[in-house]
Amino acid sequence: MNNIIDGTKISLKIRKQVKTLLKKENITPCLAVIQVGDNKASLVYIKNKKKACEDVGIRFEHIKFNDTISEDLVINEIKRLNNDISVNGILVQLPLPEGFDEGKIINQIDPLKDVDGLTYPNVGNLVLENDCLVPCTPLGVMELLKAYKINLATKNVCLVGRSNLVGKPLIQLLLKEDATLSICHSKSLDIKNYTTKADVLIVAAGHPNLITKNMVKEGAVVIDVGINKEGNLLCGDVDFKEVSKKASLITPVPGGVGPMTVSCLLKNVVKAYKLQN
């Protein structure tokens, strides 16, 4: 199929650019990842981040706490990392165990080191279109659209999902590119009414195979951000097999947006380094 958007290929290209830049400028940025508890998925994500960092020449620190630790001690560790000039990026691996206040903890991170783009100053700057650190998955979606030369200024774009991590930042990034935007979510009554009008359909709902063939406009570009487990298999929020027959371009799961998230994290670590120096 020649209508597949190859996220793996584009992400490797980004990694190569980052590696070349670090070598050329002879710099070694550092990313510190804080983990609380033993979430299995988190361990996989952290392993992927560590490997990606080491591949391009970013120093990686993994700070792991038991879920019995107090919130105050996690905050103290963040403050220590904020003050450590050798650390350029700080990331708290989500989700945190029950009882932890995610918002409170994340907002202890120095906005210039907030490589996930989740602190209030970065969220505010994104809305105001000021230069800032942007969440990695939305950034990855925009990089894919750019790589495939999809001009959003003339397009109807439908976004399904409004999470703080993906949906809301994407709203701002799409508006910045002058897209005409409709947003659907779990309380929307008839999402088909919106999705069938979309030239570009971006789905980040966390609901396996939510989007079926009859919900997609002929020739649409479909970006599937969802990663769901069905038995032992990974699937997206879009019924790939059927929708790919109608879409002009479509991201697979896995191999679409997923690899872009980690590569955009590497870009953010480099950007954070430059903002600090």
Rounded Cα distance, 81 and 52, in Å: 21
Residues 161 and 95 in one domain: no
Who's near 78: CB < 8 A, 6+ residues apart? 34, 90, 92, 105, 108, 109
Who's near 116: CB < 8 A, 6+ residues apart? 91, 92, 106, 133, 135, 136, 265, 268
- The reply to whether 102 falls in a domain is yes
Q: What is the pLDDT of residue 231?
A: 86
Residues 170 and 231 in one domain: yes
Note the pLDDT tens digit of each residue in 165-177.
Answer: 999 999 999 999 9
Residues 63 and 144 in one domain: no
Residues 157 and 90 in one domain: no
Who's near 85: CB < 8 A, 6+ residues apart? 276
Residues 236 and 146 in one domain: yes
Per-state percent for the chain, helix, strand, coil, to nearest 5: 45, 15, 40
Rounded Cα distance, 250 and 212, in Å: 13
pTM score of the predicted model: 0.95
Q: What is the mean pLDDT of residues 205-232?
A: 95
- The reply to whether 116 falls in a domain is no
- pLDDT band of residue 1 (cuts 50, 70, 90) is confident
Q: What is the mean pLDDT of residues 42-65?
A: 97
Q: What is the pLDDT of residue 93?
A: 97
CATH of the domain at 32: 3.40.50.10860
Q: What is the pLDDT of residue 232?
A: 86
Which of 40-44, 178-182, 188-192 comes out lowest in average pLDDT?
40-44
* Number of domains within the chain: 2
| Catalytic-role residue among 35, 49, 108, 168 | 49
φ/ψ region of 238 (left if φ > 0, alpha if ψ in -120 to 50, else beta) reads beta
Residues 31 and 72 in one domain: yes
Residues 84 and 141 in one domain: no
Q: What is the pLDDT of residue 116?
A: 97
Domain that holds residue 45: 26-110
* Rounded (10°) angle between helices 7-25 and 136-147: 100
User: What does the mean pLDDT of the chain come to?
Assistant: 97
| Catalytic-role residue among 93, 113, 237, 267 | 93
Q: What is the pLDDT of residue 82?
A: 98
Rg (C-alpha) for the chain, rounded Å, is 19
Note the pLDDT tens digit of each residue in 223-242.
Answer: 999 999 888 888 999 999 99
Residue 67 CA, distance from chain mean position: 25
- What kind and span of H or E run contains 236? none
49 is an active site residue:
yes
Note the pLDDT tens digit of each residue in 24-53.
Answer: 999 999 999 999 999 998 999 999 999 999
| Catalytic-role residue among 35, 108, 113, 116 | 116
Residues 95 and 45 in one domain: yes
Q: What is the pLDDT of residue 134?
A: 98
35 is an active site residue:
no
- The reply to whether 206 falls in a domain is yes
Who's near 181: CB < 8 A, 6+ residues apart? 157, 158, 159, 171, 174, 175
Contact 11, 56 (CB under 8 A): no
Strands of the sheet with 200-203, listed across from one edge: 180-184, 156-160, 200-203, 221-224, 249-250
- The reply to whether 79 falls in a domain is yes
